[in-house]
Amino acid sequence: MPTPLTTAAPQQATAASGFTHAGTQTTTRPATLDDFEGVNALHERCSLQTRFARYQAARRSLRLAEFQHLTRPDRSLTWVTHPMDDPHQLVATTNLVRTTEPGAAELGIMIEDSWQSRGLGTSLVRYARAQARAFGCSSLVVMTGADNVRILKIMRALGVTLPAVRSSTVDLTVPVGEHVEFTVAAALPRPVR
């Protein structure tokens, strides 16, 4: 059994519970260094397409130094999401990473393939947007592939005007706003048809 990594100082962000469209209850909580192996196991379970959508590259894992950077509350806010009844099965990771632009943080999200198209992504983006104000951010930067229909759909749902696509990538700026509302159960279960 591997030796557990030292846990980073707690982040200022809070944990949240939510539901997928299928009615599965999830918990999203701040990531610690103890989540390193679980996050890399999530990467291994994700398809090449999912990993490419997240990184614009076919990354199979994160290096420890990268994950340490992502769990430093002065530079990044990182959350992991798991089913409420199985805290060891990480199904998503969400990051806000400060950029060199004052008041801006880059948003990154990766959801395991079998958990996609259930409303989890929308809930996680709304959650990150709500937490961004406390992180000192006035905007989120989203860099994604022009073919990443899921994140583009989420951005449209947030009221972001998408630019005309002129290349294989799309760069978006999402204002945080003074009073961002977040409802924990933003993605309520919908009836099964």
Q: What's the rounded Cα separation, in Å, for the pair 58 and 148?
A: 15
pLDDT at 5: 30
Q: Any idea what the Cα angle at residue 79 is, between residues 77 and 85, rounded to 5°?
A: 160
Q: What does DSSP assign to residue 11?
A: P
What's the domain count of the chain?
1
pLDDT digit string (tens) for the chain, length 193 residues = 333 333 333 344 555 655 555 677 889 999 999 999 999 999 999 999 999 888 888 788 999 999 999 999 889 999 999 998 899 999 999 999 999 988 999 999 999 999 998 889 999 999 998 899 888 899 998 888 888 888 889 888 888 877 777 778 888 888 887 443 333 322 323 333 3
pLDDT at 193: 35
Residue 186 lies inside a defined structural domain of this protein: no
Residue 9 lies inside a defined structural domain of this protein: no
Q: For residue 59, what are its two tokens?
A: 């990354």
pLDDT at 95: 94
Residue 95 lies inside a defined structural domain of this protein: yes
pTM of the model: 0.78
Residue 27 lies inside a defined structural domain of this protein: yes
Q: Which of 108, 58, 61, 104 is CA-nearest to residue 80?
A: 108
Q: What's the rounded Cα separation, in Å, for the pair 5 and 150?
A: 34
Kindly report the CATH number assigned to the domain that includes residue 133.
Answer: 3.40.630.30
Residue 181 lies inside a defined structural domain of this protein: no
Q: What's the rounded Cα separation, in Å, for the pair 147 and 61?
A: 22
- Print the domain residue range for 32: 16-175
